[in-house]
Amino acid sequence: MAEGKVKALQSSKFWFMEARKSIPGGVNSPVRAFQAVGGEPFFVKRAYGSKIVDVEDHEYIDFVGSYGPLILGHAHPAIVRAIQEQVTHGTSYGAPTPLEVELANLVKTAMPSIDLVRFVNSGTEATMSAVRVARAFTKRKKILKFEGCYHGHGDSFLSKAGSGLATLGISASPGVPEEVAALTLNVPYNNLDAVRKIFEKEGKEIAAVIVEPIPANMGVILPHGAFLSGLREVTREYEALLIFDEVISGFRLAPGGAQEFVGVRPDLTTLGKIIGGGLPVGAYGGRSDVMSLVAPLGPVYQAGTLSGNPLAMRAGIEMLRQLQMPGFHKSLDETTHRFVEALRITVKRRNWPITINHIGSMLTVFFTGKPVIDYASAKTSDTKAYAKFFHEMLRRGIFIAPSQFEAMFISSAHTINDLSKTADAAEQILEKMY
Ligand SMILES: *Cc1c(COP(=O)(O)O)cnc(C)c1O
């Protein structure tokens, strides 16, 4: 009996049951609950490198990577050391530190569009604050976003959004006043005509266009040739600001983010995920005339008890230093490319109804034969097939996101062996499915 009880205490099932008694749905972020794929989540005991281990000691090759931050894998020795060193000196001061200056300088060097940068605690805070500043600067109220893009859970962004909202089929969240929602305009991604049309009608009221330059929250989508430069032209013409939400793409695609990759310079940029080295961080920054409005330099209020947190700053500094190693992105991208090509060749040979979108070290396997270029086409995916694929992968020790509308992230900790095992498993599973 005692043994039975010990076993129960070690099971994910037990912890999920306990969690649901005290946490809504048992999780602190909705997608984690596995609702879209069915079944119950595993509870994590520890993680290292490319592996994540549950409380029952099952080990998985992890392609979720905490939804983006872990480009070096779990518990990278340099990051662990940096955090360990810092923690002995205290965890929060409520006073400025040289660490914040150092990280700000690393960000500015990586992204020349940023003159001034403010650190916050999450991507959500970064986008909310960026929009506030944009509204203050332009003295306009409306913002334009794209269907299926995700900008965190601020009230203004919870319409036709990606990530967990796409996963759960929530198109607008109760609790957001209609008056607030009405200030957010949505058009399809990659559709410059729709952008121009809406600007012709309401351009004088639009404070900013906010966009994931490379969307990854409706699965990975690639921008068409002139889409992002077109956004730059339209916003300039109407004197609205262009905000690149690089919470995922920043430092993942290139040291200078998607803006370096595509050669378009936004007015404001939001960051998160990777710049925290796995600790909670966000940042927003950009043109000095706009960012000068932020308090205490200007009148736009934005603050944070734990902002610029020394542990997070220290982890972020170490992360960015690691990414500056010569050839880091090139090597990671090449590894990913080989993995994706192997999958693509198999899919093509068998004529399976699957589309793989890929850029840098992120990809999405969409269960549709049609090209996926926006939210509407992403939604043609067979999410039941995805759910089956997800569970079969999990059974073989491979963890991908429990939702069709997320990216698969490759880290520098993934070995060739991890990737070939994953490609083989995918082939076997799809063989059985089709
Ligand atoms: C994750 C994400 C956010 C929100 O960041 P949080 O840290 O989860 O609040 C915002 N924008 C994009 C593009 C993201 O991927």
Cα(152) to centroid(ligand 1), Å? 5
Mutate-to-test residue for ligand 1 from 120, 121, 122, 124, highest number of ligand atoms within 8 A of CB: 124
Q: What is the pTM of this model?
A: 0.96
| Spatial separation of the C-alpha atoms in residues 284 and 96, rounded to whole Å | 17
Does 92 lie in the same domain as 61? no
| Spatial separation of the C-alpha atoms in residues 344 and 68, rounded to whole Å | 23
Over the chain, what is the mean pLDDT?
A: 95
Does 217 lie in the same domain as 96? yes
Does 26 lie in the same domain as 147? no
Does 396 lie in the same domain as 272? no
Whether 233 shows a pLDDT value over 60: the answer reads: yes
pLDDT confidence of 19, banded at 50, 70, 90? very high
Does 393 lie in the same domain as 330? yes
| Spatial separation of the C-alpha atoms in residues 282 and 121, rounded to whole Å | 5
Whose C-alpha lies nearest to ligand 1, atom 13?
A: 247
Which comes out higher in pLDDT, residue 356 or 174? 356
User: 6-20, 40-54, 174-188, 349-363: which range is least confident on average?
Assistant: 6-20
Does 256 lie in the same domain as 220? yes
Mean pLDDT, to the nearest integer, of 186-191?
97
Does 303 lie in the same domain as 232? yes
| Spatial separation of the C-alpha atoms in residues 128 and 123, rounded to whole Å | 9
Mean pLDDT, to the nearest integer, of 165-183?
83
Cα(150) to centroid(ligand 1), Å? 7
Final residue of a structural domain among 265, 296, 323 = 323
Mean pLDDT, to the nearest integer, of 261-290?
97
Give the total number of structural domains in the chain: 2
* Pocket of ligand 1 contains residue 215 by CB under 6 Å: no
Cα(34) to centroid(ligand 1), Å? 19
Helix (H, G, I), strand (E, B) or coil at 408: strand
* Pocket of ligand 1 contains residue 235 by CB under 6 Å: no
- pLDDT of the residue at 82: 98
Does 317 lie in the same domain as 337? no
Cα(246) to centroid(ligand 1), Å? 9
Does 282 lie in the same domain as 345? no
User: Within 13 Å, how many C-alpha atoms sit on residue 314's CB side?
Assistant: 19
Whose C-alpha lies nearest to ligand 1, atom 5?
A: 123
List residues with catalytic annotation.
150, 245, 273
Q: In the chain, count of helices (H) and strands (E)?
A: 16, 14
Final residue of a structural domain among 271, 298, 323 = 323
Instruction: Provide the domain limits for residue 218.
Output: 77-323
* Pocket of ligand 1 contains residue 151 by CB under 6 Å: yes
Does 217 lie in the same domain as 88? yes
pLDDT digit string (tens) for 91-121? Answer: 999 999 999 999 999 999 999 999 999 999 9
- pLDDT of the residue at 162: 77
Final residue of a structural domain among 308, 323, 338 = 323
- pLDDT of the residue at 4: 63
pLDDT digit string (tens) for 340-377? Answer: 999 999 999 999 999 999 999 999 999 999 999 999 99
pLDDT digit string (tens) for 207-231? Answer: 999 999 999 999 999 999 999 999 9
Q: Which atom of ligand 1 is nearest to the CA of 123?
A: 5
Residue 425 belongs to domain with CATH number:
3.90.1150.10
* Pocket of ligand 1 contains residue 247 by CB under 6 Å: yes
Q: Which atom of ligand 1 is nearest to the CA of 280?
A: 7
The rounded percent of the chain whose pLDDT value lies above 70 is 97
Q: Which atom of ligand 1 is nearest to the CA of 29?
A: 8
* Pocket of ligand 1 contains residue 145 by CB under 6 Å: no
- pLDDT of the residue at 2: 57
Residue 99 belongs to domain with CATH number:
3.40.640.10
Cα(10) to centroid(ligand 1), Å? 32
Q: How far is CA 376 from the centre of its chain?
A: 20
Q: Which is it for the CA torsion 153, 76, 250, 282, positive or negative?
A: positive
Does 231 lie in the same domain as 121? yes
Q: Which atom of ligand 1 is nearest to the CA of 248?
A: 15
Does 312 lie in the same domain as 240? yes
Tokens of residue 85, six digits = 């060193």
pLDDT confidence of 1, banded at 50, 70, 90? very low
pLDDT digit string (tens) for 46-87? Answer: 999 999 999 999 999 999 999 999 999 999 999 999 999 999
